[in-house]
Amino acid sequence: MASRFWTAGSDSDEEEVDASEEENSSSEEESSSSSSSSSSGSDSSSDSDSDSDSDSDSDSDDSDAPKKGAARFLAGSDSDSDSDEDRRVVLKSAKDKRFSELTDTCDEIRNKMKINDWSAIQGLFDELNKRLERARKVSEAVGTPRVYVRMCVELEDFLNDTLANKDLKKKMSSTNAKALNTMRQRLKKHNTSDEFAEAVTKFRENPQEDEEEEEEEEESSSSSSESDTDGEREETEKRPAGAAKKKDKLLTMDSAEITYEMVAKKLREIVTSRGRKGTDKQEQLREIVTSRGRKGTDKQEQVEMLQFLANVAKGVPQKLEVLLQLVGSLFDLSPGISNYMKVGLWKRCMLVMLEIMDTLQANEAIVLDDSAEPSEERTAEPVAGEDGKVRVWGNLVAFVERLDDEMFKSLQVIDPHTHEYMARLRDEPVFLALSQKVHDYLARIGDVRNQPKVALRLIEHFYYKTDAVYDAMRKLTMLQQEEAAASAAAHPEGAVAAASAAAETAAAANTSNEPGEEQTADDKVALPVPLDFSMDESSTAAMKRLVGIVFTHGDERAKARAMLCTIYHKALHGDFHSARDMLLMSHLQDNVMLMDISTQILYNRSMAQLGLAAFRLGLISEAHSCLQELYGSGHIKELLAQGMAMGKFQDKTPEQELLEKRRQMPFHMHISMELLESSCLISAMLLEVPAMASSPLSVKKRVISKSFHRILDTYNRQTFTGPPETVRDHIMAATRALMRGDWSGAYGAVSALTVWQLVPQRESVLDMLKKQLKEEALRTYLFSYSAQYRSLSLDQLCTMFEMDEKAVYSIVSKMMIAEDLHGSWDQPTRTIVMHSIEATKVQSLAGQFADKATLMVELNERAYAFRTGGLRDDDDMGGGGGGRRGGRRGQDGQWEDDGGHGGRGRGRGPRLGAARMGLGQGGQDFGGHRRGGGGGGRGDRGGFRASGFSSNMTSGLPDRFQRRGPYRQQANPNMQALGSISRPGGGVGGGPGGGSYNRPLGGDRRDRGL
């Protein structure tokens, strides 16, 4: 227990003083009730204090309060003895007041020293002297208060420094310089005057010992008074002078501090002679708990105190309480939400947490519970409840979450290309172990409310890990465990002792607060992975187990997140179909816009991963629809939180920027941007090139991927095309080749991309790409050049595209059936015979005319149908059928809303026949018809949909989901995708007309999207 507290040098403390001074001001405003409860058993004193306070408030500095009490500051040996009752001695507020006035002034002087304001120092120095006089009057005793002496010494030193610093001197304003000179003279005179000279020299000789002595003295004589120690004074009594009102609470505080300090000393004795003063500890702990939230207390000091207490605590429950408080205090040490917790500190927290868990594991009767009564109200040992359980107040989950957050934050900030980052990542197993322990513990005590929270945290550590990474993590864990075991064997004290030793090292390193030493602190703190922790064999198993828990007990957000993580994980492992089913079933795409931003980011990440999975499996159109919106938005970096957008169009306020920074994913969780781009563009290419070839001149060609077209246009406009460099270049080169039907050229360009190295199944992906490219090249070739042939031999096509006969046959047949290719097979000769029909000018004009006339009739029909509802005759069978299908489709928007009635309403359609479709449906019906049959089957699934998931969610992992989406996509990609898979943006408001281009990131960015 080499507490900094005892050895506190005057210099190092100053920074802290500074910091805590600001805090002080607010802390004073706390209600007096809390202060009274905080005072350690010295109720009477605190009461009287507050009474006198109300007096002194009015008359402020110049109060005529009794003066005799001040003596206690100086000698303090007269009245106090070792016992507890001593602390109850009513302190005379007047002497305290005098004393604190002195200290205040000293502090102020120090402040001024910092800003080099000599004129102010001069004034304050005068005041200080005046106060000293007054204090002397009050305190009867003779002697100079240490504070004062110390101030003098400091002032002198500072003066000399300033004088030595010529530059500074020159910069000073004239008044300041004048004041400096005055001060020099006065101080010289002052310090050499016999009144002080001795004290000063004595102080100079041996400031440390001096304090020690005084501590000793204090110990023997006890009582609150000896808080004379400089460091303590600074910590406890700083506050702006003149804020008289605050004085009293400070006093209470003061006494509180002193009490526990004192008790700590006693506790130190207790270490040797156990068994005394259980209640003291209790009181002390209570005190720390209450003062924790307050700003006036020194956190560092508290931590040490707690650490010490933890070692000497009596009884397991109390130890737990102390430890829990310790974790809390450790958290308090870190500087707020914008910065991350220092790694050393974090590790210390982890150690304490592990200790807590060990304790809990060892003592099954103890139940941590945040609903149990806080320890404040208890004075005696907590008694076992009726069920034989001891309830201790504490919230492990909050700690785990906080630790996780801090780790996340640190990973965000640390440069990913450094060793530091790697080292940080190595801490993950320990965290996992801790979470697992907490999780198991919660499971044991049956806390289903909190269990999912921890499970979710664990899930979020697992979901993005590929098998390789997961295995590596497992190995690392085992390795660390071995090391820990080895070191535990080496140190006979056992692992716990080693841990606490490590913690102390960390503490020592940490207190220095110097960034330079941070590194060494990290090295010193070895975080042993608990030996009883083992990771699941596969990440899939781990995920399944945890997700099950979240689904059974979690709240909506946890469920959604767990679901997204599962989707991501499944997609990552190539299980595209079930990942997609989960996504569609959960209807996450419908309401993701309503969720918090981090969930939206997770959604986008899952979407991206889903797209990549589809791509790897060769499901090109699915991959495209997953990735297109993400990529096409042009904000993919922001959407995935993998980098800040270089704002071209918008100026973000600093706050927004800060928020965005806080959302960023740590590097090791990133999805390769380049891979995403390649996958997206290649999918677009494979879809787009044959489509362009099939209708080269058509004006109304449906655009599959706008961004692809844009890039292609730019590429085509280039006057000079160099060899491909970027991803885009490569793919554009491939596109060019593919448009000529040159598959090998296209493959060459595509396979030259470096990103394929990032794909684990590189070979299979490239094979898939080759196959796809061949097929699409064949289609493109036939589209483009079939008109030039009268007949084409199957064998020739096979050799041209290096495909087997069956595949070519299948593709060509498909094109024939779809009437993309006007021709037919001649079986005996194995050739394709083209029947190209060329229209004459008149014919094509007539055709156009007929089309227009048809359009007009259709419009008329629609107008009529709109009024009366339905026109077509039953005998128009094809139309009827199409109408029925289309009708269903047209109503999709409606189904989305009333899924419950969907079945019934739709059920009516076919039986009544298209002609009697209800009023109002007519229009839609018609529209659907014109869009051409097709995807009826698709949208129909909606009937069940609106109602779908909630029930499923509750029943654990449902095996099968409601789905819609991608099918419709396939059927008719240019339909507005009604909340289908193609909308990574989340399809809120995704009614058919709601073309709102939702971006997944809400808030500030949402409005831009609209």
Query: Which positions lie near other proteins, rule CB under 8 A?
Result: 577, 806, 809-810, 813-814, 816-817, 822, 824-829, 833, 835, 837, 839-840, 843-844, 846-847, 850-851, 853-854, 857, 860-861, 864, 868, 871, 873, 878, 881, 885, 888, 899-900, 902-904, 906-907, 910, 933, 935-945, 947-948, 951-952, 955, 960-963, 967, 971
| Nearest CA among 500, 985, 1002, 421 for reference residue 994 | 985
Find out whether 791 and 834 touch, Cβ atoms under 8 Å. Answer: yes
Distance from chain centroid for Cα 800: 54
Q: How far is the CB of 892 from other proteins (least distance, A)?
A: 10
Q: How far is the CB of 615 from other proteins (least distance, A)?
A: 17
Q: Which is nearer to other proteins, 142 or 817 (CB)?
A: 817
Burial class (CB in 10 A: 0-12, 13-18, 19+), 452: buried
Q: Which is nearer to other proteins, 439 or 616 (CB)?
A: 616
Question: Residue 901 carries which side chain, given as an amino acid letter?
Answer: H
CA gap 577, 759 in Å, rounded: 19
Q: How many helices (H) and strands (E) does the chain have?
A: 49, 5
Pairing of strands 366-369, 390-393: parallel
- The 3-state DSSP class for residue 366 equals strand
Composition of the chain by helix, strand, coil, percent to 5: 70, 0, 30
Q: How far is the CB of 760 from other proteins (least distance, A)?
A: 21
- Please give the full DSSP string across 166-197, using - where no structure is assigned: HHHHHHS-HHHHHHHHHHHHHHHHHHHSHHHH
Q: Which is nearer to other proteins, 644 or 816 (CB)?
A: 816
Q: Which is nearer to other proteins, 697 or 817 (CB)?
A: 817
| Nearest CA among 669, 550, 662 for reference residue 609 | 669
Distance from chain centroid for Cα 784: 53
Torsion 115-120-122-123 (CA) sign: negative
Q: How far is the CB of 941 from other proteins (least distance, A)?
A: 4
Question: Residue 780 carries which side chain, given as an amino acid letter?
Answer: T
Question: Residue 993 carries which side chain, given as an amino acid letter?
Answer: G
Q: Which is nearer to other proteins, 473 or 946 (CB)?
A: 946
Q: Which is nearer to other proteins, 78 or 873 (CB)?
A: 873
Q: Which is nearer to other proteins, 113 or 821 (CB)?
A: 821
| Nearest CA among 592, 606, 678, 589 for reference residue 640 | 606
Burial class (CB in 10 A: 0-12, 13-18, 19+), 553: middle
Q: Which is nearer to other proteins, 726 or 843 (CB)?
A: 843
| Nearest CA among 639, 646, 629 for reference residue 664 | 639
Q: How far is the CB of 666 from other proteins (least distance, A)?
A: 35
Q: Which is nearer to other proteins, 700 or 835 (CB)?
A: 835
Q: Which is nearer to other proteins, 653 or 843 (CB)?
A: 843
Q: Which is nearer to other proteins, 83 or 868 (CB)?
A: 868
Q: How far is the CB of 874 from other proteins (least distance, A)?
A: 12
Q: How far is the CB of 468 from other proteins (least distance, A)?
A: 26
User: In the numeric block, which tokens belong to residue 561?
Assistant: 């997140």
Q: How far is the CB of 774 from other proteins (least distance, A)?
A: 16
Find out whether 162 and 179 touch, Cβ atoms under 8 Å. Answer: no
User: In the numeric block, which tokens belong to residue 538?
Assistant: 């596969």
Q: How far is the CB of 846 from other proteins (least distance, A)?
A: 5
Question: Residue 41 carries which side chain, given as an amino acid letter?
Answer: G
Q: Which is nearer to other proteins, 168 or 846 (CB)?
A: 846
Q: How far is the CB of 948 from other proteins (least distance, A)?
A: 6
Find out whether 676 and 631 touch, Cβ atoms under 8 Å. Answer: yes
| Nearest CA among 679, 597, 604 for reference residue 636 | 604
